[in-house]
Structure 1
């Protein structure tokens, strides 16, 4: 699609008329449930760091996306320069090369992607490739960095509003080109305003307090069961979680509390923090 086809067609509302809000997509019941699962995982976040970790984990589990990232900027346009983003999966390994060479050419910093992210909160490589010709620099970013170097054929960005007018860009990447399809994109677009409603009112840093006080409710449940001597499989059965999810929770809990082992965490819990 050429640039000229992106403007209003003849017979559309005059340019001076009020801008119409994008129609919210209608989802099948199963996709609404996925959206509720993500929101439920983030609802008890007590700070922006908690929200980052809980959102990425929820997206990985719910949408089955392995490689995710969370970049923050004072404005949308400098979000790509975040020096310390949260990364999971291969995005951790991708980060040094991205920061050194590719951040200025990011696909989601192009005008077409910016329009999508501002109007609907979501943009994807598949949509952008089908509706417009990408700048040569963004094409090189996709071809040489995402595909050739890392084998990432699927790329999606979710924009989230943060306190103080800051912006976040959540990246979802996968080796399968159809991992984030139309249904997943529609689910993310329903999630976008709800996630922003949660994140806009969170403190930017964790409040001072005991190590256990910094845990989310679910993380505290996992820590308690670890202290009771349960294995990951037993914790998963008790909390209705996949064992891989339990492993991630335990890793997060160890990181937040500063414990080096399950035994050290158990002692901390038993001592009451």
Structure 2
């Protein structure tokens, strides 16, 4: 694991952190926060392979049955659940301690690592992901991790300093958000809005997944959120509501 060092953020990187925080400011619940953060990690910071796992406890979040997945993780999630969730490098005591202390940690598979971590890191490397980082937040007393994966060099000292600053701010935001919004909903996040448009056209989850390059599990989660927002009792009713809007 990359050692924690003090790294001063240049103005442009500090500005990127503020941009991400501005993008997520309209989140009304934890689910919306997660969607907006993943979108901003890609569009602002350039991290395309990202995840969001949540649970009532830190150890339990790695078994989240319905995580948000972007990029290569969509094709890797089944094997992760079957073989690696309990062996995730960030589930181990050393990395967990760093995340609880600093809100962000990074690992590069090219660096010396404990023997227990090597099988998991080798699996990631075989899938072209040689660098990984995580940002921890504690929404509503629970625990959640934003995962960031990429080729070697994706998360260097400057990026890690960025993520630690961002993690502290996101944690402060997440702690005050409900799991589900009770007030009138804000405008849909872009991914949810695109899902709504495609459902309104009568597309199936499989068709939407191919169009949006998402897993069907993620599309199902988006459709469930749309059902909650609209009060529709079925997918057919949801499509009619969305066409009318």
- What displacement does 1:135 show? 3.7
The corresponding residue for 1:40 is: 22
Please tell me whether the aligned partners of residues 46 and 203 of structure 1 are also in contact (alpha carbons under 8 angstroms).
Answer: yes
1:170 equivalent to 2:151? Answer no
Counterparts of 2:74 and 2:187, CA distance in 1: 23
CA contact (8 A) 2:50 2:146 kept: yes
The 1:167/1:34 distance shift into structure 2, 3 A limit, reads: same
1:1-273 equivalences in 2 (<5 Å): 25-126=7-108, 130=111, 133-136=113-116, 138-143=117-122, 145-148=123-126, 150-163=127-140, 165-174=141-150, 176-207=151-182, 213-216=185-188, 219=189, 249=190, 251-255=191-195, 259-261=199-201, 273=245
Q: Are the counterparts in 2 of residues 67 and 91 from structure 1 also a CA contact under 8 Å? A: yes
* In 1: Cα distance, 2:58 partner to 2:96 partner: 9
**Rounded Cα–Cα distance in structure 2 between residues aligned with 1:25 and 1:194:** 17
Report the count of equivalent residues.
208
Q: Give how far 1:259 is off.
A: 3.7
Deviations 1:57-108 (A, max 9, x none): 0011122111100000111121111110011111111111100111011011
Residue matched to 1:246: none
TM-score, normalised relative to structure 2? 0.75
Q: Distance in 2 between matches of 1:184 and 1:54?
A: 19
Q: 1:270 to 1:86 in 2, by over 3 A?
A: closer
Mark the structure with the bigger radius of gyration: 1
8 Å Cα contact 2:7-2:157 kept in structure 1: no
Offset at residue 269 of structure 1 (A): 8.3
Aligned to 1:87, what secondary structure does the other structure show?
strand
Long gaps (5+) in structure 1: 7-21, 220-248
Is the contact between residue 254 and residue 260 of structure 1 (CA under 8 Å) also seen in structure 2? no
Specify the SS of the correspondent of 1:84: coil
Q: Comparing both chains, which one has the higher relative contact order based on Cα–Cα distances under 8 Å and sequence gaps of 6 or more?
A: 2
Q: Show structure 2 runs of 5+ residues with no match.
A: 203-239
RMSD of equivalent CA atoms: 2.9
What SS does the corresponding residue of 1:94 show, helix, strand or coil? helix
Task: State how far apart, in whole Å, the 2-side matches of 1:53 and 1:158 are.
Answer: 15
